[in-house]
Chain A
Amino acid sequence: MEYLLHILILIGIYVILAESLNLIVGYTGLLSIAHAAFYGIGAYVVALMALKLGSPFVINIICAIIISGLLGGLVGVPSLRIKDHYFIIATFAFQVIAFSILNNWVSFTGGPMGLPGIPQPVIFGWQVSSHLEFLLLVGAFAILVFWLCHRIIKSPFGRVLMAIREDEVFALAAGKNVALYKVAVFVIGSGMAAIAGALYAHYISSIEPISFTVMESIFIISIVIIGGAGSLWGPVVGAVLLVMLPEILRFVGMPSSIAANMRQILYGGLLVAFMMWRPQGLVGKYGFRLEDTKK
Chain B
Amino acid sequence: MNLMQLIINVIYAASIYAVVAYSYYFMYSARKFLNMSHAAIIALGAYLAFEIKKQLAWNIFIVIPFSVAITAIIAITVFLLIFKPLQKRKASSTKMLVASLGIYLVLQNLISLIWLDAPKSLCSWPVKRGHNILDVYITNEQILMIVVSIALLGVLLLFSKKTTIGKSIRAVASDSVLADVSGIDSYAVVLWAFAISSGLGGLAGILIAIDVDMTPTMGMNAFMMGVVTVIIGGVNSILGIALAALLLAITQHFGAWFIGSQWQDAIAFVILVLFLLFKPEGFFGKKVKSATV
Binding site for B on A (CB under 8 A): 29, 31, 78, 81-86, 88-90, 92-94, 96-97, 100-101, 103-104, 168-169, 214, 218, 221, 225, 258, 261-262, 264-265, 267-273, 275-276, 279, 287-289, 292, 295
Closest Cβ of chain B to A161, distance in Å, is 16
The yes or no answer to B265 lying at the interface (CB within 8 A) is yes
Q: Which residue of B lies closest to A101 (CB)?
A: B266
Given A85-B33, A225-B98: A276 touches B265 (CB 8 Å cut-off): no
Closest Cβ of chain B to A65, distance in Å, is 24
**Which B98-113 residues sit within 8 Å CB-CB of chain A?**
98-99, 101-106, 108-110, 112-113
**Which B63-99 residues sit within 8 Å CB-CB of chain A?**
82, 85-86, 89, 91-99
Q: Which residue of A lies closest to B217 (CB)?
A: A215
What 8 pairs between A and B have smallest CB-CB spacing?
A268-B105, A271-B102, A272-B102, A93-B269, A100-B266, A268-B106, A275-B99, A261-B109
Docked-complex contact B269 and A97, CB < 8 angstroms: yes
Q: Which residue of B lies closest to A170 (CB)?
A: B293
Docked-complex contact A89 and B112, CB < 8 angstroms: no
Given A81-B280, A276-B99: A88 touches B94 (CB 8 Å cut-off): yes
How many A-B residue contacts, CB cutoff 8 Å? 134
Docked-complex contact A265 and B98, CB < 8 angstroms: no
Interface of A is mostly: helix
Q: Which of B53-61, B153-161, B270-278 contacts A (4 or more CB under 8 A)?
A: B270-278
The yes or no answer to B231 lying at the interface (CB within 8 A) is yes
The yes or no answer to B167 lying at the interface (CB within 8 A) is no
Docked-complex contact A85 and B102, CB < 8 angstroms: no
Which residues of B lie under 8 Å from residue A258 when comparing CB positions?
A: 113
Closest Cβ of chain B to A294, distance in Å, is 9
Give bound CA distance, A88 to B272, whole Å.
12
Which residues of B lie under 8 Å from residue A81 when comparing CB positions?
A: 276-277, 280
Docked-complex contact A275 and B98, CB < 8 angstroms: yes
Give bound CA distance, A88 to B270, whole Å.
15
User: Which of A89, A104, A218, A267 is within 8 Å of B34, CB to CB?
Assistant: A89
Docked-complex contact B89 and A272, CB < 8 angstroms: no
Which residues of A lie under 8 Å from residue B91 when comparing CB positions?
A: 275, 279, 292
